[in-house]
Structure 1
Amino acid sequence: MWPFNKTEIRAAAPTEERISSSDPYLGQFLGARWQGSADIAQASGLAVAHRCISLVSESLASVPLKLYKDNAEGGAEPATEHPLYGVLMDETAPGVSAFDGREWLARSILTNGDSFHKIVRNGRGQVTALMPMLPSDVDVERLKSGRLRYRWNNPIGSSAVLLDHEVLHVRYQSLDGIRGRSPIQIAAQTFGLAVSQQSQAGAQAENSFRPAGALVFSEKLPAQNKESVMERFRQRFVGAAKAGDVMVLDGGATFQQFQFSSKDAEFLESRKLSALDICRVYGVPPTAAGILDFGTYANTEQEGRSLVTRCLSPWAKRVEAAMNISLLSPDARKAGYYVRHDLSELLRGDLKSQYEAYRVGRDGGWLSANDIRSLLDMSKIDGGDTYLEPLNMARAGEDRSGA
């Protein structure tokens, strides 16, 4: 990874001699293996890849992302008076909703490996807007001081040179600490194979995958007779409106229907395997991506929780860590400010399970009626701040008989 020196990595690796050639037949003769490559636009357009990217980005954008501040009681409360709170929850940039801005941020990381936002601050140094920048329009370089410098080639305005404190940069698995790596480029062979399979399936679909069958004659027909026979056959039997007609063949002709071969079945299974591999790249459970071949009611519910804990939570922590460093000053972090996603909404389950959990918290004494009503976006009630105490629980050794 990027903290290590590249020269040290190269020195540790064994040296080898290579001969480059663009001749595929020569490479095949020498035993070269197929090296898959995938264009990001094509690969992200695959149905399963698009679903995985949309699922992760939309899920992260749909949950609350709030600015919190530690309080004196040891808890934390939303810092609603801070300008950054509105940027994360309401409007990321002028005319850009928080949902659209955060979805774009996550989608950019999932496809390109980088997400860039220009940070706009007020006179007090507080963040008031995050202007999105396309990864293709940004060049990053490391200065001698160790800081990063960003050159933004703004397509709709003048270019700008920004330093690292002026840019929110979220990376995915960076090797040098400068640019992140696209998951599509990391798993280029997986996506390249899936794209190739889709292209092959498309080419077969243009020819309806295969002819339905063949008319076989006992003797060779002249060329002109061949065309006339096929034309009469199409007019008489081909088409949905002509299904069920009686076919009468003469002149020694027989009709042989083509069967679905094992090779075709293997191709379909190979496409299914490629779809599962793409789900593995993004850490998305297959049932969440719409692959229900092995889905049941029990494992679908379990995989829904796995999506949150094993997939969405690491992505959320990656975004939070970058935001805490770039959007909050060291003094603000020392004062107890921090950014955090609230993924609890995705783990609540159905309404019955939620109410059962609230009942346990209410009877256990750590939730009041108003605490529960606030979670349900309901107004407070009089006397709702009272916490119950179970009668059958007491401190060890404490006499509660009243004697």
Structure 2
Amino acid sequence: MSFLDRLFGRPEKRAAVSAEPVLPDLWFPRGPGNPENLATVLACVNAISSGIASLDAYVYNTAGNTRTEAPNHPVSRLIRQPNRTQTWPDLMEWALASVLLTGNAVMVVEYDGAGRPTALTPIPWQCVQVDRLKSGRLRYTVMAWQGVTRTLLDNEVFHLRDRSDDGLVGRSRLSRARDVFTGAAALQDYSLNMWQNQVVPSGIVSSETGALSNDQAKDLKQQLQERAGGTNNARRVIVLPNGLKWQAVGISPEDAEALESRKFSVQELCRIYGVPPPIVQDYSNNTFTNAAQASLWFAQNTLVPWVRKIEAEFKRSVFGASNPYELVIDMSSLMRGDYATRWQSYGVAIQNKILTVNEIREQEGYNPMQEDAA
């Protein structure tokens, strides 16, 4: 819909559908089967979403050969308050978490009568249906969201996708590596059940006086479960009557291997999201040197691709391809390296007249020097 169409409230004609609608990719169940029940998935999603949400964003005018900040642009106001209930970090955190878990994050771009963007309204992916019109444009049907069904075109929707197979919708990484996720979930369930029922693998009760009757065996089993079963009774002393003998049984090699496999599943899930294990507190193969580089690697190889996708999608859906304005997410705070290296690079920048002292002080959060500010 053009600026004049929005200004005069003209209805937009939409062509008939030429393809079947695409339904959201929600292959994983809610509740106990939710991917975020796995600590590694939750940690990876939190690391990426909160990392990008913490970065400052600016609107720049790129007309001509210069780039100047535009703090009074309507989108700059959106960055300060994107909607009534969320701040910019809240919105970015929601969007990244949605796209990392479902492959898609959809927000409706709300406009005023003059065609200026006034809000970004997040829509749960399970409420969205996407199909392609004969004209080639995408149509978004928001189904029964807050009691209302809306139909929108692609220029009215901010749609952040993970890698897509058809160009319409993104596909979640967990659905691409479903066996990795289900294997990790199964190992977690197995380990949980093993510890909750630790009396079962911990030992065997035998009788030196003869076989026990069914009633005696049943009564003994009940008493052991009540007095020694479960985590609340772990390590308690057991007194066995009538010549009964307790024989301890250690963890079998298979069980030990299953527990060790859980460590490997952490690395597998980190690979899916491109997150270095130290970022999610896995220090099993950590040294001081690679820990110092993990954050920089994380910023360059994990966060930068998502930042570029967000900036490009803002250009497409909010600004428009021919608009000279663009959104820039400032990653300098993550890319500057450690303290000593940063100040060494600043010295080179001053010596070669690339930056001034006050520009460096601004980047480091200091007020400008008075003699330079005059």
> Shared fold by TM > 0.5?
yes
Cα distance, 1:59 vs structure 2: 0.5
Alignment of 1:212-291 (within 5 A): 212-223=202-213, 253-291=244-282
CA distance in 1: counterparts of 2:38 and 2:258, whole angstroms: 17
CA distance in 2: counterparts of 1:233 and 1:180, whole angstroms: 53
Contact 1:116 1:133 (C-alpha < 8 Å) held by counterparts = yes
Contact 1:171 1:180 (C-alpha < 8 Å) held by counterparts = yes
CA distance in 2: counterparts of 1:275 and 1:209, whole angstroms: 28
Aligned residue for 2:294?
303
Alignment of 1:2-401 (within 5 A): 38-39=28-29, 42-70=34-62, 74-88=65-79, 90-208=80-198, 210-223=200-213, 253-333=244-324, 337-384=325-372
Q: Secondary structure at the match of 2:371?
A: coil
Aligned residue for 1:20?
none
Q: Secondary structure at the match of 1:153?
A: strand
Cα distance, 1:156 vs structure 2: 1.6
Q: Secondary structure at the match of 2:372?
A: coil
Moved more, 251-260 or 170-179: 251-260
CA distance in 2: counterparts of 1:69 and 1:237, whole angstroms: 71
Structure 2, unpaired ranges of 5+: 1-18, 20-26
Residue type of the partner of 1:305? Answer: L
CA distance in 2: counterparts of 1:162 and 1:142, whole angstroms: 12
Seq. identity, %: 28
Contact 1:218 1:253 (C-alpha < 8 Å) held by counterparts = yes
CA distance in 2: counterparts of 1:229 and 1:84, whole angstroms: 72
Tell me which stretches of 4 or more aligned residues in structure 1 moved more than 6 Å.
Answer: 227-245, 247-251
Change (3 A) 1:220 1:83: same
Residue type of the partner of 1:142? Answer: R
Cα distance, 1:183 vs structure 2: 1.2
Contact 2:191 2:259 (C-alpha < 8 Å) held by counterparts = no
Cα distance, 1:346 vs structure 2: 1.3
Moved more, 175-184 or 110-119: 175-184
CA distance in 2: counterparts of 1:144 and 1:235, whole angstroms: 68
Cα distance, 1:243 vs structure 2: 7.0
Cα distance, 1:227 vs structure 2: 6.7
Q: Secondary structure at the match of 2:34?
A: helix
Moved more, 117-126 or 299-308: 117-126
Larger radius of gyration: 1
Q: Secondary structure at the match of 2:328?
A: strand
Cα distance, 1:379 vs structure 2: 2.7
CA RMSD of aligned residues (A): 3.1
Cα distance, 1:261 vs structure 2: 2.1
Change (3 A) 1:339 1:250: closer
Change (3 A) 1:385 1:70: farther
Change (3 A) 1:383 1:193: same
Cα distance, 1:253 vs structure 2: 5.0
Change (3 A) 1:135 1:358: same
Aligned residues: 345
Residue type of the partner of 1:378? Answer: Y
